[in-house]
Homo-oligomer: A and B are copies of this chain.
Amino acid sequence: MVTLPLRPPRSAGTPDVEPLLTEEHHHSEDHVNEVHFAFLDGAPETPVFRPGPSHPFSRPGPRLGSYRSPAPPPALQHLAGSGAPTSVKNLARILAFLVLLGIIPSTIIFLVDISVHNVVKAREALVNANAPAGYIFYVLSGLVLCVTSTLVCHLWSPEAEGSGIPAMKSLMSGFYDKVKPSLSLWTLLAKAVGLVCAIGGGLPVGWEGPNVHISCIVAHHLSRLPPFRDLRKDRALRMQIMACACAVGLASSFGTPIGGVLYALETTASFYLVPTFWKCVLATLAGSLVYDLLYKTPLVEAFLNTTFVKDDYKKEQLVAFVFLGVLLGILGAFFVRCVHTVYILRKRRLPGTNRYVLLSVVGIIAALVQYPRYLFRLDPRLAINEFFSSDNMETLSHLDVGLLVLIKFPLIVIAIGLPIPAGVFIPCFLLGSGLGRLYGELLRLLFGANIVPGGYAVVGAAAFTAGVTRALSVAVVIFEVTGQLQHMVPTLAAVLASVIVANGINRSLYDTLIIMKEMPYMPHMRRDRSPSQKVHEVMRTDVISLRENTTLGEIRSMLDTYTRFDSFPVVTGAGLLLGAVRRRSLLNLMNSSRPRLPNGEVDTSLSDRGSLGASISVSDEAVQAESEDRHQKRSRVMNGVHEQADLSDSPVLPEEAIEQGRAKEEEESPPEYGRGTETRIEPDLSPLVVTENTTLSQLHFMFVMLMPTHAFVLVGGALQGIVTRGDIVQSGTILRHPGEQPEDDTTVS
């Protein structure tokens, strides 16, 4: 009697299930990250145990020091900075890749920037050519550009909408597969064109997030080219490459090689490995040479170096700088809250609003309010350079600065949530520098001429941006942007005060965007979990697993039923975990056992692979039992396919599915498998295993650091349950309630 331990995947359509079979998984199998798993989301069921032929733990423990696996050493060493030798060829490949990764996105980013510049110039020319009706032409051209911006996203790639940094943060936290749709070349095109239209159309959005996204798309496609394909195979290296891409995107946005690296790591990663650092610096350096060559031309605007003289401020002013930091930290948190609230209001009050209507209205308003003041409608870098000036402002009055902040603040808040490519750094930089300048001018009015308001503008820009993004490395970015270190201590102090205060109030803007846009998300624990909970409290207990005496036919039907599962755990008859086996290995077994076994040969290609540990025996008896049990199984397969079709909204009709199942059954006739043979499969994956009393905080730490998709829970050696990433770490799908306020759990870590 064969009792089939299979049940249909009731949860196949629910969002909690990880996509388990993708191209990525096949490329990277030598890493602990790559443990995948099959489970069912249903009621617990008592496992059906059958006595296995021999339990491996009854053998005395072997000391097999002489055994050497023939597999090449994985490049995992890059991660931990190990002393393992790296071949010169491999190193050259990595270096070449990183240099290209620096040059290509920087060139694209430069092209985008120069396009923006030309669009703005063309609009100005249009306005000037039609002097009396210039306002109307300005509004109309803005309207057209804004609508075009969302049109390209709509047509080519909805993934191009938004900043890009939240998506890359999601990617860097291990959700490569889920984020992969947004790494297409169409997304790159939509992002670039949409960004040109949005900024050119007068919307106060930044370009650092889209640039990061563009860099990552370039990195993704570059790494698929034949010379670099090997680099992709090492998942750890792939993550480092993505970190480098983020750094290049940021560095090329501002021409800040070091600040770009730090800002990218701080905003997209939750931890970073030291060897990532030199890779990032190499890439950003290559990018900054392009920046140097291309940007330092009169073609486009760039940040000017500041010219503060030494001892521009007295030590006593440090209090004023820190107070500015605290103020802008509160304001930064308020900004984040506004973005969140506006987004929710739009989703609630205007749920069905057409994106084109939205963009038209916002585009017209932006044009109307920004047209009257010349500097408002030009590149924000011009205004920022003026704010940073150590002398009096030339073209802007105090009133202008106040107006700019008042007008831009709500516009930026609205624009960031629109379905267009939209960064946040430069708008925040503009607001912060304006606020800092006002603060500095006020101080000068109060305390006299020894106050240099430009210094407060610099510190304010860093502090407000840090209050919004919660990244301390904004300070480094500003040192590089201004080319001066005179204000190092006040900038650091203000940025630190701002980040601490703002973190006391709510989450960073990027985290808020991740939650708003329901992206999968790693570092935070789910809100319905407590760190002191034990894994047995949250694990799913209904685990689909292979037994050591599972027949080939059962494996086949399991493969057919659970098409989305990339691997299956293997247990003994008593339910003790032996390991996990890849779908591919099972398919290989199926394919290889069929042509050979009619001759009665043992499948040596598989059994030669060092069958040290446990193995699945597909023995005579099992094959016999299978053939006796075929009718019974067929009905089960029918049910299985039926239920799967119901749940996953598959286009396959139940009747067709049954036919398919029947067709497969025909292929599985006993003579093909042969009798008197034994085929062994070694579990070829080493899953992440924990005992049932592990706390969730421990498991959460493991999920963050090792990035597996799931962990097996053992109770006394027996596979008792599974905890997937979604069971513990926060992901957007869990936080789908639009009214939810992220402010209720503050983070000051």
For residue A292, which residues in chain B have a CB less than 8 angstroms away from its CB? 315, 489
Instruction: Provide the bound-state CA to CA distance between A541 and B74, in Å.
Output: 26
CB-nearest residue of chain B to A279: B749
CB-nearest residue of chain B to A527: B83
User: A731 contacts the other chain (Cβ, under 8 Å)?
Assistant: no
Contact A289 B489 (CB under 8 A): yes
User: A24 contacts the other chain (Cβ, under 8 Å)?
Assistant: no
Q: How large is the interface on A (under 10, 10 to 19, 20 to 34, 35 or more residues)?
A: 35 or more
Contact B274 A270 (CB under 8 A): yes
User: A706 contacts the other chain (Cβ, under 8 Å)?
Assistant: yes
In whole Å, how far is A690's beta carbon from the nearest beta carbon of chain B?
A: 6
Instruction: Provide the bound-state CA to CA distance between A479 and B476, in Å.
Output: 11
User: A671 contacts the other chain (Cβ, under 8 Å)?
Assistant: no
A64-B315 contact in complex given A532-B72, A690-B689, C-beta closer than 8 Å: no
Instruction: Provide the bound-state CA to CA distance between A31 and B700, in Å.
Output: 11
Residue-wise interface mask of A (130-162) relative to B, using a CB-CB cutoff of 8 A (1 in contact, 0 not): 000000000000000000000000000000000
For residue A269, which residues in chain B have a CB less than 8 angstroms away from its CB? 274
Residues of A394-451 at the interface with B, using a CB-CB cut-off of 8 Å, are none
Contact of A488 among B480, B532, B749 (CB under 8 A): B480
User: A634 contacts the other chain (Cβ, under 8 Å)?
Assistant: no
Contact of A530 among B68, B271, B293, B695 (CB under 8 A): B68
Contact A749 B86 (CB under 8 A): yes
Instruction: Provide the bound-state CA to CA distance between A706 and B706, in Å.
Output: 9
Residue-wise interface mask of A (564-601) relative to B, using a CB-CB cutoff of 8 A (1 in contact, 0 not): 00000000101111110000000000000000000000
Contact of A613 among B489, B536, B700, B748 (CB under 8 A): B536
Contact A579 B289 (CB under 8 A): no
For residue A181, which residues in chain B have a CB less than 8 angstroms away from its CB? none
Instruction: Provide the bound-state CA to CA distance between A492 and B57, in Å.
Output: 56
User: A275 contacts the other chain (Cβ, under 8 Å)?
Assistant: yes
In whole Å, how far is A196's beta carbon from the nearest beta carbon of chain B?
A: 28
User: A647 contacts the other chain (Cβ, under 8 Å)?
Assistant: no
Residues of A457-484 at the interface with B, using a CB-CB cut-off of 8 Å, are 472-473, 475-476, 479-480, 483-484
In whole Å, how far is A475's beta carbon from the nearest beta carbon of chain B?
A: 7
Contact B531 A718 (CB under 8 A): no
Contact of A485 among B31, B83, B483, B511 (CB under 8 A): B483
Instruction: Provide the bound-state CA to CA distance between A91 and B748, in Å.
Output: 7
Contact A80 B717 (CB under 8 A): no
User: A698 contacts the other chain (Cβ, under 8 Å)?
Assistant: yes
Contact B270 A80 (CB under 8 A): yes
Besides the known contacts A69-B532, A258-B475, 11 further A-B residue pairs in the complex with CB atoms under 8 A apart: A68-B530, A76-B531, A76-B697, A77-B531, A79-B701, A81-B749, A266-B277, A305-B310, A485-B485, A578-B716, A714-B717
Query: Can you report 6 A-B residue pairs in the complex whose CB atoms are below 8 A from each other?
Result: A32-B702, A56-B716, A272-B272, A686-B691, A689-B714, A702-B706
Q: Top 4 nearest A-B pairs by Cβ distance? A: A717-B717, A57-B718, A61-B541, A576-B717
